[in-house]
Every structure is written in structure tokens, then in C-alpha cells.
Amino acid sequence: MDIKLAVLIDGDNIPSAYVKEMMEEIAKYGNPTIKRIYGDWTKPNLNKWKSLLLENAITPIQQYGYTTGKNATDSAMIIDAMDILYSQKVDGFCLVSSDSDFTRLATRLREAGMKVYGIGEKKTPNPFIVACDKFIYIEILKNLSEDTTSEATTKSATPKNNYDTITAKEIKFITSTIDDVADDDGWAFLGDVGSLLQKKQPNFDSRNYGFQKLTPLIKSIPAIEIERREASKGRTKLIYVRIKEVKSKVKSRK
């Protein structure tokens, strides 16, 4: 059963060009029963959003800028989020912004037991990112959408130039996480690895590196081996991973 989500969008802070991909991404995590976008709709910079609101059933919330230099939109969005929280009509929130001003809001919602997803640009400050359960970079959603128009790209397993390059730092992060959940033989269930990666680093996403899923990303790392095992029930195969150096250590003990 899908969880009910409240989607709150900072219209002053997110480009309208991403709305289609953004709403498709949100649908993966739950049913967006409340969809609101905040901004001063008398200003021309929000004109591009207006034609997209009806298409995506997003309710515009008018917020005038009462004082120069102060973001009234943020305040309105935070007040609405708390009202929705106390109404108990949703199970989680999706906060769409690249603004660190929503860090405390994300923290407060999680304290109340809400699942919090963040969506924003790569310029988003780290405090807001780590305050969410999961954070998705909106540029990656656009990249993936563009990739599907090219057959050559969809057949390729190598990341494109507009994705991040996986470095020794990321590889160490993944291998240390495997080690955290591994059994005595060094094997770890990939599902557990993925969950822990997300908890440690909410913005970790295989798509940032050009891979649709975690499995092909793991396959691209020579230091890690993969084993598929038959599940106890059904035809599903479970994927386990192990650091190759661990394998040699296990053999040496025998």
C-alpha cells in the first residue's frame, strides 16, 4: 500500500523544466495526495510554472514578499507543513527546494515519525540533505529522461560525462558499508547494503553515477564480487556482495 505524501514545492527555488520528471520520481515513493507550490505569482519569474500546474494537479499558494530581503515563501511553506502534520492526513513529506532554510523543518517532521524525501539541485547545502531520509538531485532526473531518447545511451553501461565520476572515496564508502553488514564469510545481502548506504548518506544514489540501479554500479567496481542465490520461496534470486580481498582472507584461514 502506497504511503500518502504531501508534496510542498518552493516555486522560487526550483526550475519548472523539471516538473514532469520530479512528479514521476515522487510517485515511486508514495501517493502524492497533497501537492502545493509556493511563490509570489504576481512576479514574472514564475510564469513558466503556471501552464504546468493544471497538468500536474498542483495547487498554487500565493505568498507576497512583505519585506525586502526576507523570504516569505519559506515561512508559508513551513507553516503549511506543520498544519498538514497535525492534520494526520499523510504519512510523509516531499520537500522540493535547494534552500537550507528547510533543514529544521525536515528534522522536525522526522522527529514526528514522518518519512521525509528531499528533491533539489546539486547546489543544495549539506545540512538540508542529511536532514532528509532520502535526497534526490533533480538534475539526475533530467539526465535520465534525456538518456531514454537515445538508444545508444540506454544500451551503454558506462556513465555519461554529465554524471559524477565514482572515486576512491565513494568506493571506500560502499566497501566499508558492505563490511558493516557482512556475515563471517564476508557476504552481505545487497538489499541491506543499499538501506545502510541511504541511512549513512541520504543523497547516495546510483543514478548520480549513471547507473539506474545499485547492482550495475556494484558490478562496475572491480574490488567487489557478486553472487546470486536462490530465494527460499519463489523464483526471485537474492543478490549478495563481498569485497574480493575478504575472499582471499577467508581462504587463507582454511
Query: What CATH number is given to the structural domain containing 142?
Result: 3.40.50.1010
Residues 184 and 90 in one domain: no
Total count of domains within the chain: 2
- Of all helices (H) and strands (E), which one includes residue 224? strand 224-230
- Choose one of 147, 178, 212: the last residue of a domain: 147
pLDDT at 156: 43
Residues 48 and 93 in one domain: yes
Residues 117 and 202 in one domain: no
Structural domain that includes position 65:
4-147
Distances (CA, A) of 150 to 19, 155, 156, 162, 197: 21, 9, 10, 15, 30
- The region of weakest confidence among 162-176, 197-211, 240-254 is 240-254
pLDDT in tens, 31-59: 999 999 998 888 887 888 888 888 899 99
**Structural domain contains residue 162:** no
Q: Supply the pTM of this predicted model.
A: 0.80
Question: What is the average pLDDT value for the chain, to the nearest integer?
Answer: 84
With beta carbons less than 8 A apart as the criterion, state whether 140 and 156 touch: no
Mean pLDDT in residue range 153-164: 52
Mean pLDDT in residue range 145-162: 48
pLDDT at 158: 45
Confidence tier at 144 by pLDDT (50, 70, 90): low
Residues 182 and 233 in one domain: yes
pLDDT at 65: 64
Residues 106 and 41 in one domain: yes
With beta carbons less than 8 A apart as the criterion, state whether 74 and 95 touch: no
CATH number for 242: 3.30.420.610
pLDDT at 151: 40
pLDDT in tens, 120-129: 999 999 999 9
Residues 121 and 16 in one domain: yes
**Structural domain contains residue 98:** yes
Residues 176 and 130 in one domain: no
Instruction: Evaluate if residue 198 carries a pLDDT over 80.
Output: yes
- Over the range 158-197, which residues count as b (16 or more CB within 10 Å of their CB) and which as e? ebeeebeebeeebeeebbebbeebbeeebbbbbebbbebb
User: What would the grid cell of residue 153 be?
Assistant: 545511451
The percent of residues above 70 in pLDDT, for the chain, comes to 83
Residues 47 and 124 in one domain: yes
